[in-house]
Amino acid sequence: MAVAHKGAISFGLVHIPVNLYVAAERTGITFNQLHKECMGRIRYKKSCPTCNLDEVSKDDVVKGYEYEKNKYIVI
């Protein structure tokens, strides 16, 4: 996947501006915390039900935007 560092990230049919993160903070769009190994949703306890991990290390948590049900773009 070719990634343009300025402008936009192309992800399949979805075209998301790089400044989405900033825009989201203004508009109140929320991001999900995801386990970077499997893209499982992180709960408040930072556990991952997909991997059956009780606690996911902070380093393994990424921020994702859900552009479609259960499909995420990592920010």
74 is a contact residue toward Zn ion (CB under 5 A): no
Q: Closest approach of Cβ 35 to Zn ion, in Å?
A: 4
19 is a contact residue toward Zn ion (CB under 5 A): no
Residues composing the chain: 75
Residues 6+ apart with CB under 8 A from 39: 64, 72
Q: Closest approach of Cβ 12 to Zn ion, in Å?
A: 22
Q: Would you state the structure tokens that stand for residue 21, as one six-digit string?
A: 């993160």
Segment near Zn ion (CB under 5 A), from 2-10, 15-23, 33-41, 61-69?
33-41
